[in-house]
Each structure stands twice: as structure tokens, then as C-alpha cells.
A and B are shown apart, each in its own frame.
Chain A
Amino acid sequence: MPDDQMLLRVEGVTKSFGAVRACHDVTFDLWPGEVLGIVGESGSGKTTLLNCLAGRLEPDSGTVAYRNRADELSDIFAMSEPERRMLSRTDWGFVHQNPRDGLRLDITAGGNIGERMMMVGARHYGNIRTEAETWMDRVELDLDRIDAAPRTFSGGMQQRLQIARNLVSGPRLVFMDEPTGGLDVSVQARLLDLLRELVRELRVAVVIVTHDLAVARLLSDRLMVMRDGTVVESGLTDQVLDDPQHEYSQLLVSSILQV
């Protein structure tokens, strides 16, 4: 059973910017289909860590090893740049907080989905079109808008398109950086529910960075709490949120306003 083997093995990842230690000695394993939430306030090093994990930023020390489809666990920073780029197209997805960073705003919505399929080898126009339509529907975008450019979409629509673009190629691991960050609360709820369903249905592993503990509770199986670049507590999501042990986790949880 492939689920018996970890998908990602992270050991001692450390990254500094000058004198600022952005993340320090982070170690964890991620299994197939598992959703890991990284929580903490702005400046705690969450996004730096995510960028290191996704191969977008090389750590000063430590290793990030990924198990590929051939079942080999290999250090992503020991790979060549083209190999790593190939991996990020075929096996991984990256959902940015700002959809403009993850979409091409000048090509059509259908084209944004289709382009990602072509990166993994799809060539038949009819199939690409049909699949793009399917995904427009899955992320609850109106099919009438398939030939419109995403710059004419609302923020929530753009974010759903970005998610479709990332998931259409059947990734095994998706990184998400505050995916509901800039959205209205009502739009957030819809997106969260959609993400929750898709993640369960596709059994994709996810590392999601968020400062919103409600988002973390809804989506993640496990949590890591970061402060000043260090993981201060980790564990089962409801355990960390309902019985936090570390001083900082307790402060985070007790600071949530009740409505």
C-alpha cells in the first residue's frame, strides 16, 4: 500500500534572510492524502517554509525529500532545475494567495486550465476543452465564462479558477498560501467547502499556510504552529486547537473572537 510510505520528508530546514532567521530547523513527514496546516501570525516564517518545501526557495541547510511516482525518495534541491520544474508541473500544485500570481490573466479561463493540461502532455483540443468544461463546473464557475479572460472575474472566481488550474493535472501534492486570504467572508465559506470536498475526493496531500484558525480546523488533519521561524507545537488539528500546550498556541487560540 503506497499510503504506508511518506510522500514528503522534511529534515532540519533552515532559511535566513541576512540576520533574520525566517525558519529554523523544521522537521516533519507528510503522508499521501494528508492535509497539514501551518499556522502562525504574519512574519512567523510560514510562507518562507512553504516556498522552501515547494522548491521555490533553497534553504540554507536541511533537506526536502519527495517520493516520486517511481517510488524513489529524493532531495528536491539535489535535482537539476529542469527536473524540479518538471515535478512542479506534473506532481505538484501551488495555489497563491493572490490569484493573479497563479493565473495568466490575458488568456481565457478555459486556456488557463488547458495550458496546465498541455504541460503534462495533453494534445487533443477536444479533450482539453471537455476537461476544462468539467473543471469549470467542479469549481462552480459559469460555463458561459470559459472564453472570457480572468481579468474580468471577481476575486472569488479567480481563486476558484486558480484551484481548477492546479488540480486538473491530477497532482499528488498541493501547496496553498492563504488561499482564502483576500476574499469576503461569504465567498471564503464557499471556497473552503469546495476545497474540502475536492481534497477528500481526490485524496491529494496538501500543505496549507493560513493565519485563520477556522480555515485550519476545517481543512487540515494536522497542524504545526510557528512562531519566529520555529515550530512551537504540532499535532492532530483538533488537539492543538482544543488543548493547546505551548504558551504561544494558547495565546493564538484564546485570541479568537467569538461571534
Chain B
Amino acid sequence: MTTSSIMLDVSGLSKSFVLHTQGSARIAVFDNLSLQVHAGECVALDGPSGAGKSTLMRMLYANYRTDTGAVRVHHRGTMVDLATAPPRTVIDVRRRTLGYVSQFLRVIPRVSTLDVVAEPLRALGTAGEEADERARGMLQRLNVPERLWDLAPATFSGGEQQRVNVARGFVAELPVLLLDEPTASLDAINRQCVVDLIGEAKSRGAAIVGIFHDRRVRDDVADRVFDMSETLAAGGAAA
């Protein structure tokens, strides 16, 4: 793979929400949006609150549906369109290719922090002991205290949960990463740690799309800013 290869190819993307339970209000988010991200490149989404940055991120992960347009991801040698792929294909793309670090950790009762972090590796077939070892390394790096590793993260502080989330998102070294404010509730040391992780991911060829409200972080990691203030669908918010 060359560094110039396209990993994520978004074209003609449109999105609106129709709220049936609230008088069928229709909220247009954006219209005919296109974006390409190459291997080794980090693109920061920018725009005012409500411009649709998080909505776009969720569409890139196929968490939200696409009205029109395509979200093509370089997956196992071909470009797969997540907007039309069947669920089991989307699941395979998420397992092998596309990682997502959200602002909040979705906690599963009784699952330990170490298992939460090691799980993406196990899903790729990494043997249990090796997966655990790499998960420990990642938790150590993000300064999550060792006494917490055997506990479920439900009761952790916001910053601790965020770091568990980052560890989980980076451990499998997936080729495309989506980062929704990965440093939102972190202190300076841990923020730098995440900046380093992003830098390393880029140098191994990962394509990254992120929302970084912290300007210092964005300046450190982003190669390009994608301005979403112009993509707002005609007619504005409500119609």
C-alpha cells in the first residue's frame, strides 16, 4: 500500500432526520458532502456546534444511516460502501478496518477494564495471552492505574473512562480511525499521550478523521481541516 492510497471515500452524502414522534419535523443536517482521506493522513472536522460533525462521524461508522451518497472504506483490498453493505459486512469492516473512539464508553456490566481493551484484539483472532499483554501495555501507557484493570469501568471517573476508550480504540491498530473528541476530559499529560498515539497511527499508515475541540491537539495532529460550516443543507435546521 502506498501512502497516497485512498482509505475513506465519501461522496454525495446527504442526511436529514425525520422525527415522527414530534409532528414529523424534518431536520436537514447536510447535503451532497464529499471527503477523501488518504493513508497516513489526519483530517479534522471543523464547524460550529450543530454543523453536523458528530452526525458525519456516526455516518462514517454506519451508526447512522445515509439518505443518499456513499461511504466507501478500503477493506480487505476493495472499497466497501457502508451505506449499502449488509449488517454482517459492516460488522466485519468494524472488526478489521474501522475503529471508533467516542466521547463516552458504553459499559457492559461485569466486563473488566482489561477485557474491554483486549476485546478488539481477540475479535481479530489474537491469542488470549498476547491480547492481554498488549492491552496491559496500552493501559499502562495511558496511565490507567493497575489496580483498576480487573474492575468494570462503570464506576470510573470521566477521564479514566475516556482513557479506557482510547486504549480500546488504538490497541488493534486498525487502518481507519474515527476519533470524536478523544481528549475531551483529559489532563495535559494524557492529552499528550493521545497526541503521540495519533502520530504513531499516522506513521504506520492509518487514515484518521477526528473532531478536536482542543486547538492545540488539532494543530498537533491534523494535516488538513475539513470545514463543515458550508455544508449545512439548504433551508437550515427546521423545515
Interface residues of A (CB under 8 A from B): 31, 34, 189-190, 192-193, 196, 218, 221-222, 235-239, 242-243, 245-247, 250-251, 254
B106 to chain A: closest residue by CB? A217
- Contact call A238/B63, Cβ cutoff below 8 A: yes
Q: Is the interface of A mostly helix, strand, loop or mixed?
A: helix
Contacts of A193 in B (CB 8 A): 108-111
- Contact call A243/B64, Cβ cutoff below 8 A: yes
A189 and B88 in contact, given A242-B64, A243-B63, A250-B20 (Cβ under 8 angstroms): no
Contacts of B111 in A (CB 8 A): 193
Contacts of B90 in A (CB 8 A): 236
Q: A207: shortest Cβ distance to chain B, in Å?
A: 14
Contacts of B17 in A (CB 8 A): 243
A190 to chain B: closest residue by CB? B110
Q: Does any Cβ of A come within 8 Å of B19's Cβ?
A: yes
Total A-B contacts with CB atoms under 8 angstroms apart: 49
B123 to chain A: closest residue by CB? A200
Bound-complex Cα distance A235 to B110 (A): 27
Q: Is the interface of B mostly helix, strand, loop or mixed?
A: mixed
Q: How large is the interface on B (under 10, 10 to 19, 20 to 34, 35 or more residues)?
A: 10 to 19
Contacts of A31 in B (CB 8 A): 88
Q: Using A235-B65, A237-B87 as known contacts, list a sample of 8 further A-B pairs with CB atoms less than 8 Å apart, ordered by residue number in A.
A: A34-B88, A190-B110, A192-B109, A193-B108, A236-B91, A243-B58, A247-B21, A250-B19
Q: Does any Cβ of A come within 8 Å of B62's Cβ?
A: yes
- Contact call A242/B109, Cβ cutoff below 8 A: no
- Contact call A236/B109, Cβ cutoff below 8 A: no
The one of A192, A221, A238, A239 in contact with B88, judged by C-beta atoms closer than 8 angstroms, is: A221
Within 8 A of A (CB), among B13-68: 17-21, 58, 62-65
- Contact call B108/A222, Cβ cutoff below 8 A: no
- Contact call A221/B91, Cβ cutoff below 8 A: yes
Q: A30: shortest Cβ distance to chain B, in Å?
A: 10
Bound-complex Cα distance A222 to B87 (A): 7
- Contact call A251/B20, Cβ cutoff below 8 A: yes
B152 to chain A: closest residue by CB? A193
- Contact call A242/B58, Cβ cutoff below 8 A: yes
Bound-complex Cα distance A164 to B2 (A): 50
B65 to chain A: closest residue by CB? A243
Q: B108: shortest Cβ distance to chain A, in Å?
A: 7
Contacts of A243 in B (CB 8 A): 17, 58, 63-65
Contacts of B109 in A (CB 8 A): 189-190, 192-193
Bound-complex Cα distance A238 to B102 (A): 14
A239 and B62 in contact, given A189-B109, A193-B109 (Cβ under 8 angstroms): yes
A251 and B110 in contact, given A31-B88, A242-B58, A243-B65 (Cβ under 8 angstroms): no
The one of B19, B63, B87 in contact with A242, judged by C-beta atoms closer than 8 angstroms, is: B63
Q: B59: shortest Cβ distance to chain A, in Å?
A: 9
A245 and B65 in contact, given A193-B108, A196-B108, A218-B108 (Cβ under 8 angstroms): yes
Contacts of A245 in B (CB 8 A): 18, 65
A238 to chain B: closest residue by CB? B63
A247 and B20 in contact, given A189-B109, A193-B110, A221-B88 (Cβ under 8 angstroms): yes
Q: A147: shortest Cβ distance to chain B, in Å?
A: 28
